[in-house]
């Protein structure tokens, strides 16, 4: 009797995560989606964002989000993969045991700290070296690239370690060098984990808010170069939610809905990719 009650209570509790996810989905969509249809898809995906005058076009922000995310991947993937391969295949157990936790510890550094480093070091550096305002696509890409490193390193490293040792031994027995083994065999064998790590890093980059606000400049236009200021979906939400009301607030939830849809798709892809291992 007591066991039965406990089981039912635990079952209820166990649904808390999925229930939260449903509540989040419901409220974000309920607040945002009606405005998309009221504005019309054509106007919503245009570039005129003047929310106080009824212009709710989010195209420049979508492009902004995609640009900084792509930039982050360009920075994050090579360094992240290099780190993971070096740690998993080319370093002694002592180095592995020291560096892996350190990199994971660094994953905990809050995003505002990264943004701040961007403001005090990277932005002035870009301004003085390349010209322009410094607050730019480039600054945001580099900082986001650094921020997603721990995610990519950690997941790629784990999936490299999960490749059975017999693969390596077989490859060495055929006379391959360590690098040939990595390049032709291990990276393929660990592919699903590496892809999942990259997708999760991508999700982190596209969803990042505070760091981006601090260093991207937030100008409302499609950037013409890497040195131009850029505004993302997330920064628009965070910059304007404090004072928005009525349709303007709904438009911010519409931005949130688009972001949420992108993230859920990325998550499902990542879960699928790892699940098929």
Partner 1 sequence: MTFRIGPRTSQIIAYILLLVMTSITVIVLFFIIVYIFNHGIGQLSLEFLTDRTREMGKEGGIFPSIIGTLLVTMFAIAVATPLGVGSAVYLVEYTRGGLIRRIISFGADCLAGVPSIIFGLFGFIFFVIKLNLGWSIISGGLTLAVMILPTVIRTAEEAIKAVPHTYREISYSLGGGKLDTIVKVVLPTSLPGILTGIILGIGRAVGETAAVIFTAGSALGIPTSLFSSTRTLAVHFYILAREGISMPKAYGTATVLIIIILAVNFIAYRLMHRFIARYY
Binder among 58, 160, 198, 252 for partner 1 (CB under 8 A): 252
Contact 95, 232 (CB under 8 A): no
Residue 224 Cβ vs partner 1, minimum distance, rounded to whole Å: 25
Q: Which residues pair with 49 in a beta bridge?
A: 56
**3-state secondary structure (DSSP) of residue 191:** helix
Residue 206 Cβ vs partner 1, minimum distance, rounded to whole Å: 8
d(CA 234, CA 118): 18
| Of 13 and 162, CB closest to partner 1 | 13
Show the DSSP H helices in 40-91 as ranges: 41-44, 59-89
Residue 260 Cβ vs partner 1, minimum distance, rounded to whole Å: 6
Stretch of 133-141, 159-167, 223-231, 249-257 lying at the interface with partner 1 (CB under 8 A): 249-257
Question: Per-residue x/- marks for partner 1, 176-195, CB under 8 A?
Answer: xxxxx-xx------------
Residue 243 Cβ vs partner 1, minimum distance, rounded to whole Å: 12
In sign, the C-alpha dihedral spanning 249, 255, 257, 263 is negative
| Of 208 and 228, CB closest to partner 1 | 208
| Of 60 and 151, CB closest to partner 1 | 151
| Of 3 and 128, CB closest to partner 1 | 3
Number of residues that bind partner 1 (CB under 8 A): 87
Instruction: Report the 10 Å Cβ neighbour count for 14.
Output: 10
Residue 241 Cβ vs partner 1, minimum distance, rounded to whole Å: 6
Question: Per-residue x/- marks for partner 1, 147-166, CB under 8 A?
Answer: --x---x-------------
What is the chain's Cα-based Rg? 22
**3-state secondary structure (DSSP) of residue 56:** strand
Q: Which of residues 70-129 bind partner 1 (CB under 8 A)?
A: 78-80, 82-83, 85-87, 90, 99, 101-106, 108-117, 119-121
Contact 103, 83 (CB under 8 A): yes
Is residue 49 within a helix (H) or strand (E), and if so which, with residue range?
A: strand 49-50
Instruction: Report the 10 Å Cβ neighbour count for 234.
Output: 24
| Of 225 and 261, CB closest to partner 1 | 261
* Closest listed residue to residue 147, CA positions, set 120, 119, 116, 109: 109
Query: In which residue are the tokens 């404090």 written?
Result: 242
Binder among 45, 125, 167, 260 for partner 1 (CB under 8 A): 260
Does residue 229 touch partner 1 according to CB under 8 A?
Answer: no
Binder among 28, 62, 73, 251 for partner 1 (CB under 8 A): 28
For residue 159, what are the CA distances in angstroms to 94, 150, 155, 193? Answer: 19, 14, 6, 5
Q: Which of residues 53-72 bind partner 1 (CB under 8 A)?
A: none
């Amino acid at each position: 009797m007591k066991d039965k009650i406990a089981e039912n209570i635990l079952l209820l509790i166990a649904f808390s995560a999925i229930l939260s996810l449903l509540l989040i989905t419901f409220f974000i969509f309920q607040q945002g989606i009606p405005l998309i249809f009221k504005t019309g898809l054509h106007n919503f995906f245009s570039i005129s964002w003047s929310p106080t005058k009824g212009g709710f076009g989010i195209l420049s922000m979508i492009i902004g989000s995609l640009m900084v995310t792509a930039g982050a991947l360009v920075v994050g993937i090579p360094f992240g993969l290099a780190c993971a391969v070096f740690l998993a295949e080319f370093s002694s157990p002592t180095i592995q045991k020291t560096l892996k936790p350190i990199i994971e510890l660094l994953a905990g550094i809050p995003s505002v700290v990264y943004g701040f480093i961007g403001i005090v070091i990277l932005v002035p550096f870009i301004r003085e070296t390349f010209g322009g305002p410094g607050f730019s696509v480039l600054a945001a890409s580099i900082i986001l690239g650094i921020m997603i490193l721990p995610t990519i390193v950690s997941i790629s490293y784990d999936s490299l370690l999960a490749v059975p040792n017999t693969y390596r031994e077989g490859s060495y027995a055929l006379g391959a060098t360590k690098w040939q083994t990595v390049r032709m065999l291990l990276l393929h064998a660990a592919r699903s984990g590496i892809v999942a790590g990259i997708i999760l890093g991508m999700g982190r980059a596209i969803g990042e808010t505070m760091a981006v606000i601090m260093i991207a400049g937030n100008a409302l236009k499609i950037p013409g170069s890497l040195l131009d200021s850029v505004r993302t979906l997330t920064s628009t939400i965070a910059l304007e939610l404090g004072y928005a009301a009525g349709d303007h607030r709904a438009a911010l939830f519409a931005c949130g809905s688009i972001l949420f849809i992108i993230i859920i798709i990325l998550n499902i892809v990542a879960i699928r990719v790892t699940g098929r291992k």
